[in-house]
Structure 1
Amino acid sequence: MADLLRGGVRRRALTVVLALLALQLGQLAAPAWACGCGAMVPGDARRVAVGREESVVRWDGTDEQVVMRLTVDGDAERVAWIMPVPRRATVRLGDPGLFDELHEVTAPVHRTRYHFWPQDGDWPLVTGDGTVGAPRPPGAAGGPPVSVVGRQRLGPFDVARLTATDPGALDGWLDSNGFALPPRLTGALRPYVQKRWEYVAVKLTPQTTGTALTGALDPLHLTFRTDRPVYPMRLSRLAGTPQSLGLYVLAAHRMEPASGIGGERPRVTYAGRVTARTGPLAELAAGTPFLTAIGQEFPYPERIRGDHELRRARADDTFQQVIYEDRLRTVAGVPVWLVTVTAALTAAMATAAVLAVRRTRPRPEQPPAPTG
């Protein structure tokens, strides 16, 4: 009987393991269409995923600029990327050094914080690992259904600027370049078609023929007119895995998203004025001196219900993350608490000894009182 029970348990465990393995293999084989402000479509049945996306939005009241850099991974040799924009856009290559400067400016400040009593990881409380956790740390109607209003070659990118009055009309450009628009993506583009937005369609190919498209790509710099700053996010609802947004906003004042659009509450990870005088950040920030870094998590991408509309915050308060390294206060390598406790115990013992001596010392006899 015991053997039968053990056999049943082993079979059930094997079934669970095989089911989990099949699920993981299915996820690896599925193409990843969505990335922060656009959609990526592999040119064949292979897989492509956006491992990291960084974007900068600059808005001066009339024009918006978006500089974005994607890090892709997968086995696809050709990928198309589609980004909807509210107005006609111009496209050029961005400066990779921009993101290096942004990382340096918005990096958390590390400070040391001393404590008197021992904490987990300090002697003698050595049950922990002694590590310090850090906060986590952002077209007119009546025309043809689709038309190419501009085309250019920028490094590894073949960029086409399109107008479309029918979501299915984008198939023409994609089909001619060897791409197939997934049905789910066609439906997701419908709201942009209804609002008469245009599209930037980019064909990405590796520099060396026969190799997969992986690694950090050159940044793309888009510029278009808009009376309200917006960061397209609707297409991210197609993602099959949780999404993370990291967004830098340059404007005249501190900015914030108008709503969470279906994700967790957006958090500001940095806010302050740009002090750089030279370099790509200073050049892009000219006329928009306030930098706001925003982070947001989307654990359930299917709940994303729109695009991020950015608005001015109530005040231009500055903010920078601080990561504290907690250290035990010491003197010459000896914990202060130990010195203090030892000194207190020594003083207490000395006082007790003095009192004990006084209690045990014989009292002198008093002379008899005189009589008379």
Structure 2
Amino acid sequence: MRGNIQERGAHARTFVILSALLMLQLGTLIAPAHACGCGAMVPDPNARIAVGRETSVVDWDGSTEQIVMRFTVTSDTPRAAWIMPVPGRATVELADGALFDELVRIAAPEHRERHYFWPRGGDWPFDDVDGAGAPPPDAAAGGGVGVVGRERLGDFDVARLTATDPAALGDWLDENGFEMPAGLDEDLRPYVERGWEYVAVRLAPREKGAVLTGTLNPLRLRFASDELVYPMRLSRRAETSQSLGLFVLAEHRMEPRSAIGGSEPEVTYAGKVTSAEGELGRLTGGKERFLTVLDQEFPDPARIDGDHELRATAEDTPFRRVVWEDELLTLGGVPAWVLTLGSATAAAALWAVRARRRRRIVPPAPIHVPPPAA
């Protein structure tokens, strides 16, 4: 694909390459943080963890909501924890990562070709300039906290909790190996006041000495809800910019009621999907859904002021991104501009030859000589 960078010449391309290399080097020093509706993922003290990618699938049929979450992490710690507030009693189980592969294929952008006439950098006769190529989401525990259940799911230690006191909830989490960020009590207070419940997850690999690295098994949360909500409030504890990506499956195309302190959410795909097979079919029960894919940035997480509440849009307008691939226009493998210039040159030469052949030399007018006088 010939991109716009190639049009700027060798110097511009060199600058872009050097800038990209610099950013890559910086990226190895500063680990990116990605939003997770559960709030900050917190490792053991003095340990480091980077969530390279966090992707969530949300399915809602009008009364029941399911959230499937998958993390790709790089760390030097064997443990980390997070908490997800939910509006009702939740069940938790391991999910299959194939679900994400299916949705990525469905929402993939459409690739279209468009042609340009005149040669650019990288095309003959400018192919001596090397262009930059394109880079190929109830047992009472006391103290106001109830333990609904606790189970081991793969590399996850999962606790399902109720709470009437945010401070008591924070204490229980700390005492049971779920270390949470300082100040979490205040962020949990709105959920406690509304009677929500909680799913606390501690990531702890079974293998002795193992650390959290790579793509973890996804978890599926299922709970009753009369509205589609994606908890985000706890992400305000993050110290670096956050990025949110959501696959939303519902009866209609959905949109957030507000930006909740982030940039305007961007729709990258919208369309109806029907799948009676595969992981998508198992998630939806084989019923038709409208898939809306959303991306959003949170440059200043401290500004996050609530959870994402999603509502149906006025119309179920489909949308798919289009990626244009620029190609030099050719005819029979020959650049069209070469053929055009060649044809024009030949036509001009033929015209010149014919013009010469048709040119007539006009003889001089005869000189009239009067007859001699008689």
Q: Deviations over 1:67-123 (max 9, x none)?
A: 111112211212222111111111111122111111221122222222223344433
Partner of 1:190: 189
Q: Kindly state the Cα deviation for residue 38 of structure 1 after the two structures are TM-superposed.
A: 3.2
Q: Partners of 1:24 and 1:366 in 2: how far apart?
A: 90
Deviations 1:264-322 (A, max 9, x none): 22111111121333111122233352111111122222222221111112211222222
SS of the residue corresponding to residue 182 of structure 1 reads coil
Q: Which residue in the other structure is 1:298 paired with?
A: 298
Pairwise CA distance, 1:124? 3.8
Q: Displacement, 1:249?
A: 0.7
Q: Deviations over 1:339-372 (max 9, x none)?
A: 112211332243245445655x52135568999x
* TM-score of the two chains, using structure 2 as the length reference: 0.81
Contact 1:274 1:282 in 2 (8 A): no
- Check whether the contact 2:38–2:231 (CA below 8 A) recurs between aligned residues: yes
CA-to-aligned-CA distance 1:123-168 (integer Å, 9 cap, x gap): 345567264689xxx69xxx95212122222222221111122222
SS in 1 for 2:339: helix
Counterpart CA distance in 1 for 2:121 and 2:34 is 45
State the match for 2:131 in structure 1: 129
- 1:55 pairs with 2:56: yes
What's the CA shift string for 1:203-245, capped at 9, x where partnerless? 2211211221222111111111111101111122222222211
Instruction: State whether residues 84 and 192 of structure 1, in contact with CA within 8 Å, keep that contact through their aligned partners in structure 2.
Output: yes
Gapped runs of 5+ residues in structure 1? 1-22
In the alignment, which residue of structure 2 is the partner of 1:77? 78
- Partner of 2:40: helix, strand, or coil? strand
Larger mean CA deviation between 45-54 and 220-229 belongs to 45-54
Between the aligned partners of 1:111 and 1:103, the Cα distance in structure 2 is: 18
Partners of 2:255 and 2:273 lie apart in 1 by 17
TM-score after normalising by structure 1: 0.81
Q: Distance in 2 between matches of 1:367 and 1:69?
A: 103
Number of aligned residue pairs: give it: 341
| Unmatched tracts of structure 2, length 5 or more | 1-25
| Separation in structure 2 between the aligned mates of residue 133 and residue 100 of structure 1, nearest angstrom | 20
* Residues 36 and 244, structure 2, Cα contact 8 Å, conserved in 1: no
Give the percent of matched residue pairs that are identical in Structure 1 and Structure 2. 56
How far is 1:198 from its partner? 1.4
* Secondary structure of 2:264 counterpart: coil
Structural mapping, 1:13-28, within 5 Å = none
8 Å CA contact 1:59–1:65 kept in 2: the answer is yes
Question: What CA distance in whole angstroms lies between the structure 2 residues aligned with 1:121 and 1:32?
Answer: 37
Q: Any idea what SS the aligned residue of 2:315 has?
A: coil
Distance 1:122 1:132 in 2: 16
Amino acid at match of 1:308: H
Task: Report how far residue 332 of structure 1 moved.
Answer: 2.8
Please say if residues 34 and 242 of structure 2, whose CA atoms lie closer than 8 Å, have aligned partners that are also in contact: no
Residues 1:45 and 2:63 aligned together: no
Does the 8 A contact of 1:120 with 1:130 survive in 2? no
Give the match for residue 13 of structure 1.
none
Q: Distance in 2 between matches of 1:25 and 1:266?
A: 28
2-structure distance, mates of 1:24, 1:50: 13
Matched residue, 2:68: 67
CA distance in 1, matches of 2:336, 2:29: 58
Contact in 2 for aligned 1:261/1:305 (Cα 8 Å): yes
d(CA) in 2 for partners of 1:114, 1:34? 39
